[in-house]
Amino acid sequence: MSEPDDRDGEIIEPARGADPSRGLQQRIRQQEILAELGVSALQGATFDQLLTDAVRLTAQGLDAEFCKVLELLPFENEFLVRAGVGWSPGVVGVAKISANLDSPAGYALRCGAPVISNHLESEKRFKTPEILRRHGVHRAMNVILQGDGKPFGVLEVDSRSPTEFVEQDIAFLQGAANILGMAIEREREERKLRAALARNEALLKEMNHRVKNSLAIVGGMLRLQANDAEDEQAGDLLNEASHRVDAIAKAHDQLSRGSDVERMDIGKYVEALCRDLDESVAQCDVRTEVEEGIVIATDRAVATALIVNELIANAAKYAYESQSGVILVRVARAGEKNFVASVRDEGAGKPHATDSQGRKGLGMRIIGAFTRQLDATFEMKKHDPGTEFIVLIPLHTPS
């Protein structure tokens, strides 16, 4: 192998009678191309689109028929033709080239510097890949694509024409490679961030799943205690407590199934909650009429669900007084800024729980507390028969 011509880190086969200037207009056009490529990168073009634009524009800037981005596959010691222009079908995204001295790209990578070869047919420094011979390529120029502190691969331009590449062309090709290098680094950082985000989301889902399971165990233990309680009132209180725990567990169940842990569809949440309550409130038929797509903050959704839970419990216990009946739960939008959650019964009993001194029971006090927390309004309407409790709730926490 002959000694390469190494000037300022560039390994270049001297041009044979070529005009070094290559024309002022071409140099101006090359600067315009670099600016265009830079704007595309800054405007957030996808990585694949940027690679496609880069090979097309680079070929134009050097009056070459072919250009390609070769991605290094280190474990295979090969390059993959990641992007390209001018090549026959089946090359881009498929073809591989040796990363050793079997190619101009491999030679550039091993030497760590740009390489020009204007006469591949008589080249002694490296072999000419079959892909270049098959496309009639006579000359090639390569620069290394850096990214994240290590080589991503090589940017190579190839041509059939007799016009030779000169040293000034290296500056243009290196400029294009530098822009791609910044995009490569950005892509790798974004990939790391996406991976970290995916891990965090998976951990949050797992956490919600485990919290749901833990709360389900607590709810089950409360129900067991309720069944074993000798005092009927104590048993009723334990059952009510288990329903409140179940309502919170259902929120974590919904969160573990979705992709957003900060917001929930309140209609779907209430519907799922009512399905569970329909089984536990055996004497009543709990029906739902919900509008989906009302997405609110998770903490507001949990507070709303607890209000609905208490209203259903009150209706089952006091409106029907342990007899059978229908409880209708409705969730719907109310204008642009609010939604409504209502629970209606058709019973003839007391509209809400009171103690022996006529004070509001625990359920109604819980409803009042969460209504104030949500900055909501609470209304009771008498029907013939039955009663309807209506809660008008802002979609967002008031500023």
Residue among 226, 237, 227, 273 nearest 254 (CA): 273
Residue 398 · residue 375 · CB < 8 Å? yes
Summarize pLDDT for 254-297 with one digit per residue, the tens.
666 766 778 889 998 888 888 877 766 667 788 989 998 999 99
Pairing of β 284-290 and β 387-394: unpaired
**Could you tell me the two tokens for 209?**
């799943």
Residue among 117, 124, 126, 129 nearest 159 (CA): 117
Q: How far is CA 283 from CA 256, 316, 326, in A?
A: 31, 8, 9
Question: Residue 220 in 3-state DSSP?
Answer: helix
Average pLDDT on 50-56 reads 89
Residue 133 has pLDDT above 50, yes or no: yes
If pLDDT is split at 50, 70 and 90, which confidence band does 19 have?
A: low
pLDDT score of 218: 76
Cα gap 234→239, rounded to integer Å: 9
Residue among 298, 386, 286 nearest 345 (CA): 386
Cα gap 308→374, rounded to integer Å: 13
Residue 1 has pLDDT above 50, yes or no: no
Mean pLDDT of the chain: 81
H or E element at residue 79: strand 78-85
Listed in sequence order, the residues at least 6 apart from 360 whose beta carbon sits closer than 8 Å to its beta carbon are: 352, 353, 354, 368
Pairing of β 387-394 and β 377-382: antiparallel
Summarize pLDDT for 84-112 with one digit per residue, the tens.
999 999 999 999 988 888 788 998 888 88
Pairing of β 325-334 and β 284-290: parallel
Cα gap 246→228, rounded to integer Å: 19
Q: Which of 264-273, 312-321, 369-378, 384-393 is predicted with the least confidence, judged by mean pLDDT?
A: 312-321
- The torsion angles phi and psi of 11, rounded to 5 degrees, stand at -105, 105
Summarize pLDDT for 173-226 with one digit per residue, the tens.
888 888 888 888 777 777 888 888 778 777 777 776 777 677 677 777 777 877
Average pLDDT on 224-229 reads 76
Question: Residue 369 in 3-state DSSP?
Answer: helix
